[in-house]
């Protein structure tokens, strides 16, 4: 642990070396190099250094370790560049599936009053969630109370629909997944109403950042030079991850997406340069 670091919202937090290590590991460093970079950054700290400046130093030192890092955005920036639909939705579905959930995408749930389109149904440990993926292009934007209240209202309507025989799909809880943090009111309401709210760094050690680090599911939006239109075509075919595009047959993927085979080959070459799948 070190001195105080200034976050983008102006608040201060204590420097945490392990956050630097986790970021380096996600970018392809081995553990020894990750700790070495974290130590180099810690030696360069000064009072009130910004998290943005620390990220710049991570990229600077990582380029010395792996030159191809210049091809990458950091995860938080990469997620913010996604389209809400279909990219972020498909990414959330893939992340939940890799985290042990049984996932069914894009379901229509019948409630007592109306039908509700949800982004996924996720089952784990005997609990069935409906999932709402909430994406923000500005990653410092808070996800507020309204999203939590809407999720609770949907859950109540769907549960009542089951009770009166309109549906036989029993939903136990609501889940919201976002690429940002939640407002204080949203957190309080979610805790009170038993809504699973997954944000950038919450719940502790189970947030989006930790889930990606644990599964190594880097999204294609972290790859510089791959435009939004191409990513949307890939996402419509269920491809949003580095590992997915590497594992797919190039010509078959070109046929499914309408993208040039040469573009897909170039993407694969960039990824395979420093990542093993």
Q: What is the pLDDT of residue 169?
A: 95
CATH number of the structural domain 216-272? 1.10.150
Residue 210 corresponds to which tokens in the numbers above? Answer: 């930790």
Q: What is the pLDDT of residue 274?
A: 57
Query: What is the domain partition of the chain in residue ranges?
Result: 4-70, 80-215, 216-272
Residue 153 corresponds to which tokens in the numbers above? Answer: 């209202």
Q: What is the pLDDT of residue 275?
A: 58
Q: What is the pLDDT of residue 103?
A: 97
The pairing of strands 4-6 and 12-14 is antiparallel
Q: What is the pLDDT of residue 109?
A: 97
CA distance 137 to 133: 13
Q: What is the pLDDT of residue 1?
A: 45
Half-sphere exposure of residue 166: CA atoms within 13 angstroms, side-chain side = 15
3.30.420.40, 3.40.630.30, 3.40.1350.10, 1.10.390.10: which CATH number matches 80-215? Answer: 3.40.1350.10
CA distance 207 to 156: 26
Preceding amide of 169 cis, omega within 30:
no
CA distance 198 to 153: 18
CA distance 77 to 80: 5
CB of 197 closer than 8 Å to CB of 188: no
The strand order across the sheet containing 49-50 reads 12-14, 4-6, 49-50
Q: What is the pLDDT of residue 69?
A: 59
8-state DSSP, 86: I
The pairing of strands 115-124 and 127-134 is antiparallel
Q: Could you list the pLDDT tens digit for every one of the 277 residues in the chain?
A: 457 888 766 788 888 888 888 888 877 778 888 899 999 999 998 888 888 788 888 878 887 777 655 556 678 888 999 999 999 999 999 999 999 999 999 999 999 999 999 999 999 999 999 999 999 999 889 999 999 999 999 999 999 999 999 999 999 999 999 999 999 999 999 999 999 999 998 898 788 888 887 667 889 998 888 999 999 999 999 999 998 998 899 999 999 999 999 999 999 888 876 555 5
Q: What is the pLDDT of residue 79?
A: 94
Q: What is the pLDDT of residue 185?
A: 97
């Amino acid at each position: 642990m070190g001195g105080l670091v200034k976050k983008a919202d102006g608040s201060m937090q204590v420097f945490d070396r392990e956050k630097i290590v986790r970021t380096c590991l996600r970018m392809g460093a081995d553990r020894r190099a990750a700790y070495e970079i974290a130590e180099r950054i810690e030696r360069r700290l000064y009072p009130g250094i910004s998290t943005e400046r620390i990220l710049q130093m991570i990229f600077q030192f990582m380029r010395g370790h792996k030159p191809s890092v210049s091809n990458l955005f950091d995860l938080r920036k990469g997620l913010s560049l996604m389209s809400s639909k279909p990219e972020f939705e498909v990414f959330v579905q893939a992340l939940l599936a890799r985290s042990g959930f049984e996932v069914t995408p894009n379901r229509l749930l019948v409630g007592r009053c109306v039908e509700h389109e949800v982004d996924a149904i996720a089952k784990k440990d005997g609990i069935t969630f409906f999932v709402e993926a909430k994406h923000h292009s500005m990653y410092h934007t808070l996800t507020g109370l309204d999203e939590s209240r809407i999720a609770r209202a949907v859950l109540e309507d769907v549960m009542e629909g089951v009770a009166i025989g309109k549906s036989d799909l029993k939903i136990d809880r609501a889940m919201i997944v976002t690429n940002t943090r939640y407002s204080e009111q949203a957190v309080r309401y979610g805790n009170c109403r038993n809504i699973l709210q997954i944000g950038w760094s919450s719940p502790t050690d189970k947030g989006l950042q930790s889930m990606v680090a644990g599964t190594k599911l880097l999204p294609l939006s972290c790859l510089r030079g791959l435009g939004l239109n191409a990513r949307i075509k890939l996402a419509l075919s269920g491809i949003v991850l580095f590992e997915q595009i590497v594992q797919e047959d190039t010509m078959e993927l070109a046929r499914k997406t309408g993208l040039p085979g040469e573009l897909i080959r170039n993407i694969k070459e960039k990824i395979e340069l420093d990542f093993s799948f």
